[in-house]
């Protein structure tokens, strides 16, 4: 049986950390990415360089520059390596950009994900993990956000594509019997993070004395989730494919559990923090004060995200717990080193 694990989006923030851990733990890893220019390509290339350096010792890593939309190339890769486990992290990310350029989301997140599902079907992949997002909770006001809540009201095209992925995965799992696990990530941060997300934007603004826009006049909160916690949970999920839930409650149409091998889990810190508290913590760590401009809410933005971790805790016995204080310390240390 093939021992290959295939990770899409390997030059991205989460994909890079996952591949690094998998290579170190001696999995055989195939990484694919189209290295698009949504944000600084240098950061993506640097991440890939690090993966190649680890590989000098392990020889367990292969990178292929491929777009998920290119089905023929994907089929060749699946044919050649026959991965038993696939982790789909490649996507057009970002809520705000989805208002400007929805086409990128339809291509990568809908067509690209469909191609992954087809390859999993044809090559009888045993376990598919795929990235969803806390943004599927849209305008929900019941907190914390639970996988059992209705998520039928996305407020951005990005969220709509992620919810669509969950529906597509469910039908493929039901029709073709392979295990699928969807992961609703909550604001992941840490070293090698994404320049389009709040932690990087804020750190850059504070250090370089740029004006920092505080949306919704600061009345927002996030379950900031440290990258190491995310990776630990992803590795556990790789080793524990979804199975049908014998206690499945058919009266609850939103149930996170399922009669087929498809499950959806939140991965988010259990402590949601206000935007201004977050900025204050960055200021303290950097020893600098932010220049703040208080502005209204942006279209598409969710106001508060808080993760209910009951289901992931029940399934693998843990959930993201790293304190924001500790995580910010590690993140800022990396940020200063990387950007000199």
Ligand X SMILES: NC(=O)c1ccc[n+]([C@@H]2O[C@H](COP(=O)([O-])OP(=O)(O)OC[C@H]3O[C@@H](n4cnc5c(N)ncnc54)[C@H](O)[C@@H]3O)[C@@H](O)[C@H]2O)c1
Report, as residue numbers or ranges, the catalytic residues.
158
Q: Which is closer to ligand X, CB of 64 or CB of 288? A: 64
Query: Would you say 120 and 75 are in contact if contact means Cβ atoms under 8 Å apart?
Result: no
How many Cβ atoms are within 10 Å of 210's Cβ, its own excluded? 12
| DSSP type of residue 15 | H
- Are 190 and 138 a contacting pair, CB within 8 Å? no
The token duo for 227 is: 């990258």
The Cα 177–Cα 239 span in angstroms is: 18
Cβ at position 289, least distance to ligand X in Å: 26
How far apart (Å, rounded) are the C-alpha atoms in residues 69 and 116?
A: 9
For residue 312, the minimal CB distance to ligand X (Å) is 15
Decide whether 36 or 310 has the Cβ nearer to ligand X: 36
- Block residue for tokens 């990235």: 131
Compare residues 256 and 287 and give the one whose CB is closer to ligand X.
256
The C-alpha atoms of residue 144 and residue 141 are separated, in whole angstroms, by 9
Least distance from ligand X to the Cβ atom of residue 248, Å:
26
CA 291 vs. chain centroid, Å, equals 30
Nearest distance from residue 14's CB to ligand X, in Å? 4
What is the C-alpha separation between 185 and 9, in angstroms, rounded?
15
d(CA 123, CA 250): 31
Nearer to ligand X, 40 or 284 (CB): 40
- Whether residue 290 contacts residue 283, with contact meaning beta carbons closer than 8 Å, is answered with yes
Please say whether the beta carbons of 55 and 19 come within 8 A: no
Q: State how far the alpha carbon of 76 is from the alpha carbons of 19, 64, 126, in Å.
A: 21, 11, 18
Tell the smallest beta-carbon distance from residue 262 to ligand X (Å). 17
**Residue of this chain nearest to ligand X (CB atom):** 12
Residue (35 or 286) nearer to ligand X, CB: 35
Least Cβ distance, residue 9 to ligand X (angstroms): 3
Contact 273, 218 (CB under 8 A): no
Find all residues with CB under 8 Å of 53, minimum gap 6, and list them.
Answer: none
Residues binding ligand X (CB under 6 A):
9, 11-15, 33-36, 44, 67-69, 89-93, 108, 112, 131, 133, 185, 187-188, 194
Nearer to ligand X, 90 or 302 (CB): 90
Task: Check: CB of residue 245 under 8 Å from CB of residue 315.
Answer: no
Least Å distance, CB 132 to ligand X, is 7
Output 172 or 189, the one with its CB closest to ligand X. 189
């Amino acid at each position: 049986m093939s021992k290959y694990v295939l990770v899409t989006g390997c030059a991205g923030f989460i994909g890079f950390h996952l591949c690094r851990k998998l290579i170190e733990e001696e999995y055989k890893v195939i990484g694919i990415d189209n290295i698009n220019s949504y944000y600084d390509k240098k950061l993506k290339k640097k991440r890939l360089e690090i993966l190649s350096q680890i590989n000098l010792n392990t020889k367990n890593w292969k990178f292929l520059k491929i777009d998920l939309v290119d089905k023929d190339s994907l089929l060749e890769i699946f044919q050649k390596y026959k991965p038993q486990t696939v982790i789909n992290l490649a996507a057009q990310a970002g809520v705000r950009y989805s208002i400007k350029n929805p086409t990128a989301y339809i291509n990568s997140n809908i067509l690209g994900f469909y191609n992954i599902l087809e390859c999993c079907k044809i090559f009888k992949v045993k376990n598919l993990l795929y990235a969803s997002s806390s943004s599927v909770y849209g305008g929900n006001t019941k907190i914390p956000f639970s996988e059992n809540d209705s998520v039928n009201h996305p407020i951005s095209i990005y969220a709509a594509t992620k919810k669509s992925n969950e529906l597509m995965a469910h039908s493929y799992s039901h029709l073709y019997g392979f295990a699928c696990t969807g992961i609703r990530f909550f604001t992941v941060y840490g070293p090698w993070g994404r320049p389009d997300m709040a932690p990087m934007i804020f750190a850059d603004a504070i250090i370089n004395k740029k004006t920092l826009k505080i949306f919704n006049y600061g009345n927002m909160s996030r379950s900031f989730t440290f990258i190491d916690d995310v990776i630990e949970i992803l590795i556990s999920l790789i080793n524990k494919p979804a199975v049908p839930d014998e206690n499945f409650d058919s009266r609850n149409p939103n149930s996170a559990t399922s009669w087929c091998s498809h499950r959806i889990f939140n991965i988010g810190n259990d402590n949601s923090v206000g935007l201004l508290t977050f900025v204050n913590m960055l200021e303290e760590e950097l020893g600098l004060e932010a220049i703040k401009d208080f502005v209204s809410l942006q279209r598409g933005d969710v106001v508060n995200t808080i993760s209910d971790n009951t289901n992931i805790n029940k399934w693998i016995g843990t959930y993201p717990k790293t304190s924001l204080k500790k995580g910010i310390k590690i993140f800022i240390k990396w940020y200063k080193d990387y950007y000199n």
